[in-house]
Structure 1
Amino acid sequence: MPRSKRDKKVSLTKTDRKGLEHKQKVIEEIQECTEKYPNIYVFSVDNMRNSTLKYIRNEWKGSKFFFGKIAVMKLGLKNADVSDELIERLEGQRGLLFTKEDKVTVCDWFKEYSTEEFARGGFKAQETVVLPEGPLPDFSHAIEPHLRKLGMPTSLQKGIVTLIGEYTVCKKGQTLTPEQAKILKLLSRPLAKFKVNVECCYLKDSGFESIIKVVDDSKKSLKKSMKAKDKIATQKNGKKAKKSDESATMVIEAVDSDDDVELDENEEDSDEDMENSD
């Protein structure tokens, strides 16, 4: 079928896709780093933020960070003189740090460094946030309709944003919705904490060393899927049991009705016998 010249692919994103050339470049950079730097560390990040990671990169200018596709990073380490245990630990949301600094310096720096960040949707709240009834002078009158859209019971009273009643933004242990996360950001309440966890390292002098014992992400997801399957199975079994109970009651009712019919027939026979005897 002929294709129309008017048919054009329109990309809705402003960023260009990183193709094979970019991946090949990353692999080559990792291979160069394995020769240049004596120490390699695998790290994970809690509450990842690009701006904070950029700050850490500036603080560690003599080192090299890689945080991207795991498959690409593994290809870079494949032919290098690196322990297989290090490559196996490179799973999930993890990155690589190539540096000349020793283990004590690296671990101490990242142990002390952490920053507070605004929570996003899906984050579990670490505390309960309750707003009392009354005026909210920190908010401009122009933002009041936006606050109502987010679910806050507000109104304008003499040009001041005012809470009509006490409002609970979030409860401890609750998973935040995007609306709750936006409200907390407007209130300047950072509940999340950006933290880099150094999990293991490969030192050319001493070899592989585990720093933090971590559960494999694949095992975590497997446990979650198993729990979900068990939940579905129990629900199905409950429905089957309910159906069997309903069918059992129907059988009992049917048996009772048959007994009544037999009794009626016996009564008719007895009436006929009485008439014949008369």
Structure 2
Amino acid sequence: MNVNVNVNVNDTRSDAPAAPADVAEMMVCTMSDWLLRAEVIQLGLASALNQVAALLAQTRTNGQGPALEDPAALTLTRAQRPAFLSRSERAAQIGALRRYEAPEWIGQMMPRLAGRVRQFVRPLQIDAKGRINSLRVADQQGRLRRFAGLAGLAELAEIAQPFLVYLPQQDSRCFVDAVDFVVADPIAAHPPGAGHAVMVTNLAVFEFTSAGARALSRHPGVTHEQLRERTPAGVAVGSVPYTAKPDAALLQRLRTQIDPHRVRDIEFASGPARRDALLRLYAQEAAMPLR
């Protein structure tokens, strides 16, 4: 596994089923494992890896597992579909079980989903205590830069068990000793001993509890030294096993049914490569039927 996340976002060829999982695929398949037992999965806004992982988890249960809640389309659905970037909202409206308004979801439905809903969120920062910052970070001059944040994150931390986080690029800027600003604290939001958070990165899987944080596994190809170097000192890494590799059948389903156009790669691209990848995806999705 290339820990520098060298993903070819311009490669439109279909992968051979026997090809080993790349970084994006390793993350998506591992994330889907943590979504299988949810009753409802929130897709989030413009969250490519969470969307693909959620759709993969749904198809792994043959549509009998989690329902998908789309905050952009304001729908709840069990309809199986491929991943979309620009047309996700329209795709979610096809076959929806229910449509609702945002105040209804936040005020009436979310409180009923305690312990039953899951969603992978991507923060600006997460620290060794599992605290989340999605709003503002300090630049090199110490000035705070503000970002859009994640709506309802503090409320999600109160009802999602475990609270799920992902980082496409684990480094000292985003996995830190202490966040610059606390938006949500998934561990403190629950009684002592009850809070639980899990994070999947391009390097490993981590667990956060009131007893502390530790690595559960490291992905194939990641050395102990690489993991220790990019992990806060307060997080135990120890001698952890390798993350289980997805089998050929699961990879085939991901590559051909759920994400044939590789929406999953977009979160690893930046600069001109990201622009080119977005344009390619938009063109491919425009020619792809929603059903």
| TM-score with structure 2 setting the length | 0.20
Larger Rg: 1
Normalised by the length of structure 1, the TM-score is 0.21
More helix by share: 1
